[in-house]
Amino acid sequence: MEEQELIIALQSRQETAYVLLVNQLGGKVYHTCLGLLQNEEDAEDITQEVFVSVYQSIKQFKADSKLSTWIYRIAVTKSLEYLRSKNRKKRFAFVQSLFSTDNELKTDVGHFHHPGVQLENKERAAILFSAIDKLSENQKTAFVLHKLEHLSYIEIAEVMNSSVSSVESLLFRAKQNLQSLLGDYYEKNEK
């Protein structure tokens, strides 16, 4: 089925078209969400939300970009929104912990083990993911789409609604920041 036919079938709410779409892009959407959220359960929930969002707003899709690019954009937006709300909750929990009697801060800080990483790289990849988590939203998105999804600079620019040069600059700064964060980690733990 060609993309245009698929879009028409999706717009007319044909179940077979959605089965095809989920089979084609479900894994990629899940993988993008997993890279940004660094939590398998959250990534599954957001993947579901992405497809619900596609179902609800496919009629507004004007085909001015590829369907996959549009869906990646939804996945990135939903993941970042989720992260923002999670961070708000963390801040609230921190404020609450200041007033509570037990001075234990309950946040889920921990290393993320990506299920696709090779066994020998598992430990280092977890450290790298921890550093990725400290990047700004844009740097993190660009890095995840480039390194994990292997999208080209042009595709990343389309997903992020920006220019190729700004994607290049984001990736350059992301790498610099990651090297600096890893350097700090090395000084504290590996030396």
Partner 1 sequence: MNKKEAWIQETMESLEGLKIPQVSSSLDEKILKHLFQDEIKVIAIRPQLTWSIAASLLLLIGLNCISLIQYNKNQVNEKQSDAYTLYNNYFLYTEQL
Residue 16 engages partner 1 in binding (rule: CB under 8 A): no
Cβ atoms < 10 Å from Cβ of 127: 16
Tokens coding 5 = 């036919």
Question: Does the footprint of partner 1 cover residue 116 (CB under 8 A)?
Answer: yes
Determine, following the binding rule CB under 8 A, whether residue 6 of this chain makes contact with partner 1. no
The distance in angstroms from the start CA to the end CA of the chain is 56
Of 7, 34, 74, 76, the one binding partner 1 by CB under 8 A: 34
Beta carbon of residue 72, minimum distance to partner 1 (angstroms, whole number): 14
173 is an interface residue for partner 1 by CB under 8 A: no
Is the Cβ of residue 20 or residue 162 nearer to partner 1 in the bound state? 20
- DSSP codes joined into one string, 36-54: HH--HHHHHHHHHHHHHHH
Estimate to the nearest angstrom the gap between the alpha carbon of 100 and the chain centroid.
34
Told to check if 167 binds partner 1 by CB under 8 A, we report no
The candidate with the shortest Cα–Cα distance to 128, out of 177, 75, 188, is: 177
Structure token pair of residue 21: 């779409």
Give the residues lining the site for partner 1 (CB under 8 A).
15, 18-19, 22-23, 26-28, 30-31, 34, 44, 47-48, 51-52, 55-56, 114-118, 121, 124-125, 127-128, 147-148, 175, 178-179, 182-183, 186-187, 190-191
